[in-house]
Amino acid sequence: MWMRPPYKGPGGDPEAVGIGGVPLYPVMLESPALRWAFIRKIYSILSVQLLLTIAVASVVVFVRPVSRFFVSSGAGLGLYILLLVMPFIVLCPLYHYYRSHPINMILLGIFTVCISFAVGLTCAFTRGEVILESVILTAVVVVSLTLYTFWAARRGHDFNFLGPFLFAAIMVLMVFALIQIFIPMGRISMMVYGGLASLIFCGYIIYDTDNLIKRYTYDEYVWAAVALYLDIINLFLSLLTLFRAADS
C-alpha cells in the first residue's frame, strides 16, 4: 500500500529544479517543487493533528471532572474502551476513502481526537515533571531524526531496509506488552519496555520520513500523516512509560 512507485513529475527529468531547489535525493525522477509541496502538505496536516492532540489532552488533564468521569463510573470506563477501539475502526473506512476529500479529513479528525483522549487520560494520572520531560525529549528526537533523514536522503542513503526489522521488533514489543498485562514483572521490566519501544519508534520515524521523501504518492497524504503522527505519539507514550517507571 505504501510502496507504490513514486509519481513522475512533468518531464520526468532527474535534474529538474523547483522552488528552492535541487532534487531531494540523487535519483529523483519528479519535479522537486511537486515533492516539496507534498512534504509541506503532510507536515501541515501533522502540525494540526499535534495541536489538536495537545488541546484535547490538555482539557482532559486540567479539567479534573473529565478524567474522573472516565475512571469513576461504568459509563466512563465503557466510553474509554470505545475511544481506545475507535481508531482501529476508523482506519477501515479511511482505507477506502483516503482519496475522497473532505471525507478523508473528517475521518482523520475523528481518528486524531480518539487518540488524543487516550493520551490525555494517560497524562492525567502522571506527574507534570514527567510529562514535561517526555514532551521535550520527544520534540528533540523528532526534529533531530527528521533533519537527519532529509540530510541522509540528499546524500543517497536509503532506509527501506529497516522495514522488516521494525516489523519484527514491533511484534516482539506487542508480545512483551501482552506478557506484562497477564504477568506483571515490575518496575524494571516497564523501564525496559519503555526504552525498547522508544528505540523502535525512533526507527519508525526515520523509516516513515524516508518513505515520505521517496515512496508515498501524492494521493497518499492521509496515510503519510497517519504514519508520522502514530510514530510521534507512540514515541511520547514510550518515553512517558519509561519515565513513569523510573519515577515510581
| Residue 141 in domain | yes
Domain annotation covers residue 192: yes
Tell whether 154 is covered by a domain: yes
Cell numbers for 244, please give them: 513513569
Grid coordinates 525529549 are at which residue? 137
Q: At what angle do helices 221-247 and 187-214 cross, to 10 degrees?
A: 160
Distance CA 212, CA 96 (A): 20
Judge contact between 28 and 15, C-beta under 8 A.
no
Per-residue pLDDT at 234? 94
Structural domain harbouring 153: 10-247
> How many domains does the chain fold into?
1
- Whether 5 is in a domain gets the answer no
Contact 127, 247 (CB under 8 A): yes
Determine the Cα–Cα distance for residues 224 and 50; give it in Å rounded to an integer. 14
Query: Has residue 2 been placed in a domain?
Result: no
Question: 146-170: buried (b, 16+ CB within 10 Å) or exposed (e) per residue?
Answer: beebbebbeeeeebeebbeebeebb
- Measured CA to CA in angstroms, residue 152 lies from 95, 155, 201, 211, 213 at distances of 31, 5, 18, 13, 11
Tens digit of each residue's pLDDT, the chain (248 residues): 333 333 333 333 333 344 445 677 776 667 778 888 899 999 999 999 999 999 999 988 888 887 777 777 777 677 778 888 888 888 888 888 888 888 989 999 999 999 998 899 888 888 888 999 999 999 999 999 999 999 998 888 889 899 899 999 999 988 988 888 788 777 888 888 899 999 999 999 999 999 999 888 888 889 999 999 999 999 999 999 999 888 76
Take residue 246 and report the three cell numbers written for it.
523510573
HSE, side-chain direction, 13 A CA sphere, residue 163: 9
